[in-house]
Structure 1
Amino acid sequence: MCRNFVILLFFHICGCKELFDFRDKNKGSNCDVVFLSDSVKNGTITSPLYPSPYPARTICRYEFQGRGKERVQTIFQEFNLYHPRDDNRECDNQDTLIAFVQIEGRMEKIDTFCGSTLPRPVMSNGPRLKLEFHAVYGSRYSRGFKATFSFIQNFGIKVGVQLPDYPCAFVFNSNETRSGHFYSPNYPGFYPRDTECYYFFHGNQGEKIHLHFNYFDVEGVFPCEAKSASDYVEFSNFVSQDRKYERHCGQLGEFDIESDRRFFRVTFKSNDRLDGTGFNATYQFLDKVESFTTRSELTNETAVLKDIDGFITILFFLMIKLIR
């Protein structure tokens, strides 16, 4: 008879409002939880009954509501959902976790996770994020998921010095460090939509800045313009736009960019449509008398030297024959 009762438990702990409806394990369960940044800045979310297997026929909604410039970032520690087929990349007919962000006043799906592959970090494009857990099947071998969440204003970028007057801007100064790395928001996860970030590099007198991009995946089609709905990365020797450098977008191999003087600006811009995993790059402040040689340049120089050596050798033998 107890199985016919619906047990409602309301919690007001750590700024979250939770509603759990756990019935018989064989009949499934529903749960909803809302996290408000006014009361909690970070915490942990899990699937029902974690680390025990979650029940079938379960729908859980995890909603995050920040304020102002805050973004919501979730980082997964464990992810193991029931998946009958390993080759189903579309997550059809499987237990799933779906991420939604707010775009033009409505919540839109940006990604779906399933199987046992650990998802990359997820970041909202504004102060709101929603995760929906749909457990159709469940299994005694599927533990579910565990993730941490944070309301942040640094876009997941933990290098450089953030400028408070910009929504997203970071300064790298030669007086503090001569070399280091920088990356797109939420890297290595998908970067958030509707986001513009600046990276300012300030060298000393007589210095220039060399950048090497180890990884680059920014959604777009060359020449990376608005008419093709492209996200892009842009470079400039000035605070304003510089016509010397073309915009970069798409999936690119490793490449290098160098400034003309001691100041350099990198701009990352995403729109409200598609997204990518962004970029990961290194920077180095160099004296202008220094020359940074890439691997390709070394290969070319070596080839030229070999050609010169071959020419000198041939010329030497010709002179010997003439003398004889």
Structure 2
Amino acid sequence: MFVKFVLDTSICKANTSGFVMEEVIECENQNHDACGGVIEYPNGTITSPSFPALYPILKECIWEIIAPPKHKISLNFTHFELEGTTHQHTDCGYDSVTIYSKLSENRLKRIGTYCGNAIPPTATSEGNALRVEFHSDKSVQRSGFAAVFFTDIDECSLNNGGCQHECLNTIGSYMCSCHNGYSLHENGHDCKEGECKHEISAPFGTIYSPNFPDLYPPNADCVWHFLTTTGHRIKLIFNEFNVESHQECAYDNVAIYDGESESSSLLGRFCGDKIPYPISSSTNQLYMVLKTDKNKQLNGFTAMHSTSCGGYLRATNQIKQFYSHSRFGNHNYNENMDCEWTIQAPPSSNVQLLFLTFDIESSENCTYD
């Protein structure tokens, strides 16, 4: 079993070699109304004064979370109960929490103002500073809020991440992509012209065969490599399909592989004018190849790709992370999700699972989420 605790040193600085429960309680009791301050830790927790007891009246608190240059800060609320209507995030004239992205010493960009008891969405700073303001009036009091924050370097902010065209910042990493008509070089940063290769990391979209709806070219060898967040799968649904027919698809064909290359397991090889069945990968990568010969050409295909939660993960002796949904850190998970992960270790080994962030709708017996 893994146990992880965070000592909120913005509330009380004590012996950092551990903690003694009596000392923590005494310190918190002495400072139960203290709030706000400048925080320069890479991750941690902030709470309303007196949390989880009722916050005091007429309180003004300001936290400024400062990350190193070229980093961004994300803030996730784990508890939220302020004066206001059930799902009120507008007209918060009584008690409120307001979050700003601090762009410079005298320039703030408001992300949102929140009250009521609905959990606010994840807030991410534009730069390396995030400001949180809490206000309470002289009447109704509630239990307040608790939120966790973490920082992540924005690799794209320095020299575009070394990408020749587009740089997409992700949690803990980044990805390069290319403009239309170009494909990503094997070095993962440069873009090359004239090749029919597509690196796709967007969570959803539409793909087309070359020249669609006109005829695809002869002697084509086109590749679509789909990559999504670890712990999720790629789903591919064809809307139109018209490729030269052959009993064994020996002329023109579309082949789809469950992984990162043609050496991965083959999920299907298709030709003719019958629309293929929906395809789902078992991991976070899918590889599709269109091959044509020099003879007959048709108008090809269109297909929609999307990301599905869940899938197969292989455990190794290296620590790996996976996420509840593909847009974790920037958006809440969607409604009506049904996700299942299979994590397999080598024979005679165990799988150890440690949650780093956990924020799911609370209900008795967990009947909702």
- Specify the TM-score bucket, using the shorter chain as the normaliser: 0.3 to 0.5
- Which of 1 and 2 has higher RCO (CA within 8 Å, sep 6+)? 1
TM-score by length of 2: 0.41
Structure whose CA Rg is larger: 1
Higher share of residues assigned helix: 1
